[in-house]
Amino acid sequence: MKVQVILISYIELNNLEYLLHLFILIAVYTLLSQSLNLAAGMTGLISLSHAGFYGLGAYTTALLSVNFGFSFWLNLPIAMVLSGLVAMIVSFVALRTVEDYFIICSMGIQIILFSLMNNLMEVTRGPLGIPGIPSISLFGFGLDDKIPFLLLTFVFVSLVWLILRNIKNSGFGNTLIAISEDEIYTQSIGKNIYLLKVQSFSFSAMLAAIPGALYAHYISYIDPTSFTVNESIFILSIVIIGGMGNLAGSFYASAFLILLPEALRFVGMPDSIAANMRQIIYGLMLVLVIMTGKNGFKELFKIRSIVEKNRNR
């Protein structure tokens, strides 16, 4: 009862708009982390360039709609195709490296993409960003309001979730999982692992353009600081905290990590520390999950695993 009163007063205080804004952010990060889950979780390509492709999607749609007046429904496929193409070209060269070197290589790609967004002043206006991106319209209705926009993002999240779930259960998905488990064995049963990795990486980057386009039209202003290496690390840690290859886990982890600063503010922590505190908490969770070798944060609290261990002994 008391909690309800506090919650209602909290909502009234900060108004409903803010809560909806948080839900939209959760949807955007769910899309991002689930698309990375295809490359990182299923195929084992730990990539630190995802924010770069997210930014590529956002910049493509922003430039097209501001300069040429294209609508969102035309921008989205163009952004996806462009992001996928760039990822394919990049992965043809980057995937010749393995493990640690691939991570460093993908970080290099991310830094080059960021530096293009930040420094190509003639095209992207650099650090000034691109203002005045129009909002999405559907059958003549403008989606200025947050509620219809939330519904639209919800549709996209469920669509991507469905696609990824089907990929995971398909033969293609099983081969990808086999690559992450034993690369040489998969090669020995006649799979072209290089091609499969390129496909998985490019498709993952292609899906990353969807949240980019949504984000650009939603915020209506983008600048390069949203697409830095730290953002890539954040997306990767959502995937790892949620569990590799676990799509529902990515959703829970992104909801948790987006709502965490609000919860910290609720406890009474000043704003200046809350942002750093969130990063400290997710850094700590990342280290804990990786250190114990568990798949996702949830498994840290599983008692069954201990029982299983005893049974095996």
Partner 1 sequence: MQVEIQILFNTSVTAAIYLILANSFSFIYYPTKFFHLAHAIVISLGAYFVFLFAIRFPIPFAVSIPLAIAVATLVGLACEIFVYCPMRKRNTPPLNYLISSLGLYILLQNCVSIFFGDDTKIINTIEVTVGHQIFGAYITTIQIITVFISIAFFIAVNLFLNFSSTGKSIRAVSSNPDLSNIYGIPSNKTILISFGIGSSLAATAGILSAMDTNMSPTFGFNLLLYGVVAMIIGGVGSTTGLIAGSFLVATAQHLAGFYLDTKWMDAVTYFILILFLIWKPLGFSGKILKKIQL
12, 100, 122, 271: residue in contact with partner 1 (rule CB under 8 A)? 100
Tell me the window of 49-57, 131-139, 169-177, 230-238 that interacts with partner 1 (CB under 8 A): 230-238
> Is position 148 an interface residue for partner 1 (rule: CB under 8 A)?
no
Tell me the window of 146-154, 165-173, 208-216, 279-287 that interacts with partner 1 (CB under 8 A): 279-287
One-letter amino acid identity for 264? Answer: L
Residue 138 DSSP SS3: strand
Q: How far, in Å, CA of 214 to CA of 280, rounded?
A: 28
Per-residue DSSP letters for 19-31? HHHHHHHHHHHHH
Indicate if the alpha-carbon torsion angle 146, 258, 205, 177 is positive or negative: negative
Per-residue DSSP letters for 37-50? IIIIIIS----S-H
Binding characters for partner 1, 10-49, by CB under 8 A (x = yes): ----------------------------------x-x---
Tell me the window of 137-145, 201-209, 219-227, 283-291 that interacts with partner 1 (CB under 8 A): 283-291
36, 42, 79, 94: residue in contact with partner 1 (rule CB under 8 A)? 94
Q: Please, which of residues 154-213 interact with partner 1 by CB under 8 A? A: 184
**Which two three-digit tokens encode residue 80?**
């996806």
* Alpha helix stretches (DSSP H) within 170-270: 171-181, 183-188, 193-219, 229-242, 247-267
Using N-to-C axis directions, what is the helix angle for 247-267 and 229-242, rounded to 10°?
A: 110
- Residue count, binding to partner 1 (CB under 8 A): 43
Compute the least distance from the CB of residue 254 to partner 1, in Å.
17
Buried b / exposed e over 199-209, threshold 16 CB at 10 Å, is bbbbbbbbbbb
74, 273, 300, 307: residue in contact with partner 1 (rule CB under 8 A)? 273
Contact 247, 165 (CB under 8 A): yes
Q: How far, in Å, CA of 172 to CA of 154, rounded?
A: 26
Binding characters for partner 1, 103-132, by CB under 8 A (x = yes): xxx-xxx-xx--xx-xx-------------
Q: Which is nearer to partner 1, 140 or 293 (CB)?
A: 293
> Is position 59 an interface residue for partner 1 (rule: CB under 8 A)?
no
Q: Given its phi and psi angles, is residue 55 left (phi above 0), alpha (psi -120 to 50 degrees) or beta?
A: alpha
Q: Which is nearer to partner 1, 82 or 274 (CB)?
A: 274
169, 170, 225, 276: residue in contact with partner 1 (rule CB under 8 A)? 276
Q: Which is nearer to partner 1, 174 or 292 (CB)?
A: 292
> Is position 295 an interface residue for partner 1 (rule: CB under 8 A)?
no
One-letter amino acid identity for 42? Answer: M
Q: Which is nearer to partner 1, 146 or 294 (CB)?
A: 294
Binding site for partner 1 (CB under 8 A): 44, 46, 93-94, 96-101, 103-105, 107-109, 111-112, 115-116, 118-119, 184, 230, 233, 236-237, 240, 273, 276-277, 279-280, 282-287, 290-293
